């Protein structure tokens, strides 16, 4: 099994684990898989401390994806702000109920 790890992990783990450097294409794929992995860990967090840690990990993966795609954080944040202005945030706790669904 291959798993994308942080840059210093090869220097920390000395149990015979092998590491390799990914191609750019495989790196992009692995980053997106890591994004899902970290999002699930955020979802499954059951303490505040764990939630903070997992959100930090998620943020790190997002920043790596931005860097890989040559997108600045400011560029993303500008689009985020525009979407807030157009559609709002998630503060009101609304959920959409499809009228075609059975109750």
Task: Write out pLDDT tens, residues 13-45.
Answer: 999 999 999 999 999 999 999 999 999 999 999
Q: Residue 102 pLDDT more than 70?
A: no
Q: How confident is the model at residue 101 (pLDDT cuts 50, 70, 90)?
A: low
Going along the chain from its start, the domains and CATH numbers come out as 9-87 (1.10.287)
Alpha helices in 45-101 (DSSP H): 48-68, 73-87
Task: Write out pLDDT tens, residues 83-98.
Answer: 999 999 999 999 999 8
Please give the model's pTM, rounded to 2 decimal places.
0.87
**Residue 30: predicted pLDDT:** 98
Give the whole-angstrom CA distance, residue 2 versus residue 58: 19
């Amino acid at each position: 099994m291959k798993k994308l790890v942080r840059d210093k992990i090869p220097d920390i783990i000395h149990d015979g684990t092998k590491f390799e450097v990914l191609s750019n294409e495989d790196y992009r794929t692995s980053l997106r898989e890591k994004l899902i992995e970290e999002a699930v860990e955020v979802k499954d967090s059951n303490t505040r401390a764990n939630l903070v840690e997992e959100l930090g990990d998620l943020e790190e993966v997002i920043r790596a994806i931005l860097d890989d795609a040559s997108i600045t954080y400011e560029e993303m944040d500008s689009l985020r702000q525009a979407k807030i202005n157009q559609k709002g945030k998630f503060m009101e706790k609304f959920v959409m109920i499809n009228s075609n669904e059975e109750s």
